[in-house]
Amino acid sequence: MFKKLAKQGINIGEFLLPYEQILQNTGKRNIYLMNNEEANIEHFESVLENVGTGLPLFIGGCAAGSKIATRVASSNLGIYAGLINVGY
Residue 57: partners with Cβ closer than 8 Å, 6 or more residues away? 48, 51, 79, 80, 81
Can you give the pTM of this predicted structure? Answer: 0.76
Q: How far apart are the first and last CA of the chain?
A: 14
pLDDT tens column, 20-56: 888 889 998 887 777 888 988 998 888 888 886 677 8
pLDDT of residue 6: 75
Pick the more confident residue, 3 or 82.
82
